[in-house]
Amino acid sequence: MPENILTIENLTVDFTVRNALLHVLRGVSLEVIKGESLVIVGESGCGKSVLLKSILGLLEQNAKIVAGRILYRGNNLTSFQSEKDYQKIRGHEIAMILQDPMTSLNPLLTIGYQIEEAIAIHQPLRKVKRKEEVIRLLTEVGMKDPRKTRHYYPHECSGGMRQRVVIAIALACKPNILLCDEPTTALDVTIQEQVLNLLIHLQHKYQLTVVFITHDFGVVAKVADRVAVMYAGEIIEVGTSNDIFLDARHPYTWSLLASQPALYVPGEELIYLGGTLPNPQEEIQGDAFAPRNPWALERDFIYAPPYFKLSDTHQVKSWLMEKRAPKVEPPRIIKEYYQLENWRF
């Protein structure tokens, strides 16, 4: 029986910007299973980063969690009042890796010093042992010549090396959960692949639970056990990798799958989702996706759909899943491409 390590219930987050209230997360419910790799996808601005930041209490001052709970090992993280509360879990229980490694590194300190600092906080080791651990961790994340490179400052490292250092710092804290917010997006393609392989290797070796944000379905196919699709501050479809790649049911998920560059055939029209995300200032009536949904039903514009459970693993928030709804088929190109299992790398 899979065990949940993190449970997010109805998480609702507003931001205030010049007296305007932005509804950014609109009731996110998501379970993270111990040891899995869960990937969150969705277009820019749908709330993926805000979701991960809320777990670790890293939201900006103008954000407010207005409803919901985040349960981790008997604690409701949304009830934490102070930085001190969050420090008990940050790094040590749940660590985060961001797109730009420079935001996590101090430019004035050597990388070896920064890894050693993390070790000192999280592991009771003497100084000599700590130095050995720095070298072990740098080796583990694939840094060449760690005895020498540990004396480097971040600016002396390439982007890929810096991201390896950030991963080493995360490992030094011995976390249970690793939150990765587009950790390879800023790297060039070959380095992306290496860093991704490193993360997959470390996940298995240390039995980490990984929550991963990406825009790239190649990355999803490579890392995901399960996929959660986000739209306008909600999870609209969630399932195993197979559920999503082979049997996606939400038209928004179809549009994401269909917009992958691999599906582009020269001379044919690019499959493209029109319109934009709803304005986060406005109250949404009905299904947030309805105005962009070619298959929208009348009731989509009036009532928000519930989650329909298609199987133990697959849930979809769309009225199209209702028994009486018209049967709709995904675009032919998706069926052909994914069912041929082209997406398995």
Residue 17 vs 302, nearer CB to ligand ATP: 17
Helices then strands, each counted (H, E), the chain = 11, 12
Using CB under 6 A as the binding rule, whether residue 22 contacts ligand ATP is answered as yes
In the list 49, 163, 315, 318, the residue contacting Mg ion (rule: CB under 5 A) is 49
* 255 contacts Mg ion (rule: CB under 5 A): no
Nearer CB in complex with ligand ATP: 50/170:
50
- Choose which of 15, 72, 245, 289 interacts with ligand ATP (CB under 6 A): 15
DSSP letter assigned to residue 144? S
Tokens of 69: 């709970």
Return the one option of ligand ATP, Mg ion, none that residue 15 interacts with (CB less than 5 to 8 A, by type).
ligand ATP
Our CA dihedral for 195, 47, 237, 187, rounded to 10 degrees, sits at: -20
Q: Which does 17 bind (CB under 5 to 8 A by kind): ligand ATP, Mg ion, none?
A: ligand ATP
Residue 44 touching ligand ATP (CB under 6 A): yes
Asked if 106 contacts 114 with a C-beta cutoff of 8 angstroms, the reply is yes
| 21 in contact with ligand ATP (CB under 6 A) | no
- When CB distances are held under 5 to 8 angstroms depending on the partner's kind, the choice from Mg ion, ligand ATP, none that residue 47 binds is ligand ATP
First to last CA, the chain: 28
Which residues touch 316 (CB under 8 Å, ≥6 apart)? 236, 237, 249, 250, 307, 308, 310
Nearer to ligand ATP, 14 or 116 (CB): 14
Interatomic CA distance for residues 123 and 129, integer angstroms? 10
Q: Are 237 and 249 in contact (CB under 8 A)?
A: yes
H or E, element range at 109: none
Tell me the closest approach of the beta carbon of residue 140 to Mg ion, in angstroms: 27
* 3 or 60: CB nearest ligand ATP: 60
Between CA 96 and CA 146 the distance in angstroms is 23
Q: Work out which of 37, 49, 54, 209 binds ligand ATP, going by CB under 6 A.
A: 49
| Alpha helix positions (H), 70-182 | 83-87, 111-122, 127-140, 146-149, 159-172
Partner whose footprint covers residue 82, from ligand ATP, Mg ion, none (CB < 5 to 8 Å by kind): none
Task: List the one residue from 2, 10, 17, 205 that touches ligand ATP (CB under 6 A).
Answer: 17
Shortest Å distance, C-beta 47 to ligand ATP:
4
Residues that bind ligand ATP (CB under 6 A): 15, 17, 22, 24, 42, 44-50, 60, 62, 280
Residues that bind Mg ion (CB under 5 A): 49
